[in-house]
Amino acid sequence: MKLKITGMADGFGRLAGIVDWCRGASSAVQTPCCCIYTIGGHVPHLLHDVVRLVELFHWNDVILQIPLSTLIDSWSAVEQFKGGLKRFVGLPDESMLLLTVNDPAQTLRSGYNCATSASVFGRAGRHKLDPQLFGRILHAFQADCFQAISDSDNPIDASKKRLNKSVDRTVFFSRACAEYAKQSNEQLFCTVVGGYDQAERIRCCKQLSSLSVDGYSFEGFHNFGDLSALSVGSVIPILKSCFEHLPTERIRFFPGSLDPKQIWRLTQAGIDLFDTSYVHLITEKQEALVVDDNYPYNAEYQLMRMNDPCYAQDFEPLCKNCSCYTCKNYTRAYVNHVCITKELLGPMLLMM
């Protein structure tokens, strides 16, 4: 995997292209961009056939994020299947996968990591992941790129001692994962942790910078889930100090359910990659996202609560200047109807 930077300016972020994400990848992914959030390899509410039918995206043009927590209960079935994760969930061989550890749409449970393992929660409960078990899972999944296990449980009120342990554990896990990635010829993202303690963040970066990795995931600023209260202004100075101690030509990933305004500000700070879990969260609330026509130059956006009776007689599209499948083919009144009656089509249209 290579990140080819084509433009960079302080305060405006950077433009780049990711090439050779996996062996079957035929095109470069231009950044900054969002990887497509999935649950167990499927876009929420959308079958693979629906994605193809409406041409929502082409499999070999986007990066698909698969949180391990959404498949951890089934990993032994994937191992017995012996065909890898792509075939297990019905994805084409040329699709580009990023296997992350935590589900950005679910709030992280605090207090379950230890010195030798990190905890991941599936529907069946807690799974303790040590490097050996994680290696077995990765061997079964055959993912193109994976995120190293880490201790990103950094509550905003965490003590200095707690953050110090978090960094030490994360570096230990990252070294073990880097060794596995080298042997298996897979791509690796390491996780930068340390909460809001700039000194611990820098210490983490200095130790991770010596490892052969393809990108860095910046976590520990929040506990995932709803991030509407996240103060991006307090995050950006810490991120910039981290960038000074990491290789420039590596992908910078900031996972989490971020709104368009938060994404735009982090893009200006130099982040390359985000995820689309925010769309899933607002869809579950029956809300539609409408950004300004001049986005990103104007980062304002609107959330329309589509089960509100005020849209019952509104025969305008959700967004007049949008060319997506939903806006081209359906009115606000119809989307309001399918949301109120709880038809399956409701969340499908909102996701698209």
- CATH code, domain with 151: 3.20.20.105
Residues 82 and 175 grouped into a single domain: yes
Residues 304 and 216 grouped into a single domain: no
Question: pLDDT category, 15, cuts 50, 70, 90?
Answer: very high
**Torsion, Cα of 167, 235, 98, 257 (10° steps):** 130
- Its domain, for residue 163, covers 2-284
C-alpha 317/C-alpha 313 separation (Å) is 12
Instruction: Return mean pLDDT, the chain.
Output: 95
**Token reading at 286:** 């029956």
Which has more confidence, 321 or 36? 36
Question: pLDDT category, 24, cuts 50, 70, 90?
Answer: low
Kindly state the DSSP code that residue 79 receives in the 8-state scheme.
Answer: H
Residues 53 and 202 grouped into a single domain: yes
Residue 65 has pLDDT above 80, yes or no: yes
Residue 22 has pLDDT above 90, yes or no: no
Helix or strand (DSSP H, E) at 237: helix 232-243
C-alpha 258/C-alpha 265 separation (Å) is 11
Mean pLDDT for the stretch of residues 228-249: 96
Residue 62 has pLDDT above 80, yes or no: yes
Residue 293 has pLDDT above 90, yes or no: no
What pLDDT does residue 77 have?
A: 97
Question: pLDDT category, 59, cuts 50, 70, 90?
Answer: confident
Residues 63 and 148 grouped into a single domain: yes
User: What phi, psi does 133 have (nearest 5°)?
Assistant: -65, -40
The model's pTM is 0.96
Residue 23 has pLDDT above 80, yes or no: no
C-alpha 178/C-alpha 186 separation (Å) is 9
Residues 274 and 335 grouped into a single domain: no
Residues 224 and 303 grouped into a single domain: no
Mean pLDDT for the stretch of residues 295-301: 87
Give me the residue label for tokens 């950005």.
104
327 contact partners, CB below 8 Å, separation of at least 6: 317, 318, 319, 320
pLDDT digits (tens, 9 = 90+) for 162-191: 999 999 999 999 999 999 999 999 999 999
Last residue within a domain, chosen from 235, 254, 284:
284
Residues 184 and 266 grouped into a single domain: yes
Residues 338 and 238 grouped into a single domain: no
Residues 202 and 302 grouped into a single domain: no
User: What phi, psi does 202 have (nearest 5°)?
Assistant: -65, -40
Residue 116 has pLDDT above 90, yes or no: yes
236 contact partners, CB below 8 Å, separation of at least 6: 265, 266, 269
Mean pLDDT for the stretch of residues 47-76: 94
255 contact partners, CB below 8 Å, separation of at least 6: 65, 100, 102, 104, 217, 219, 224, 274, 275, 277
pLDDT above 90 as % of the chain: 87
Residues 24 and 54 grouped into a single domain: yes
Task: Look at 15-29, 65-79, 205-219 and tell me which has the smallest mean pLDDT.
Answer: 15-29
Last residue within a domain, chosen from 284, 309, 329:
284
Q: Which of 121, 117, 151 is nearest to 135 (CA)?
A: 117
Residues 156 and 294 grouped into a single domain: no
pLDDT digits (tens, 9 = 90+) for 311-352: 999 999 999 889 999 999 999 999 999 999 999 999 999 999
How many domains is the chain built from?
A: 2
Last residue within a domain, chosen from 226, 261, 284:
284
Peptide bond into 296 cis (omega under 30): yes
What pLDDT does residue 296 have?
A: 81
Residues 292 and 145 grouped into a single domain: no
**160-184 and 198-208 helices, crossing angle to 10°:** 20
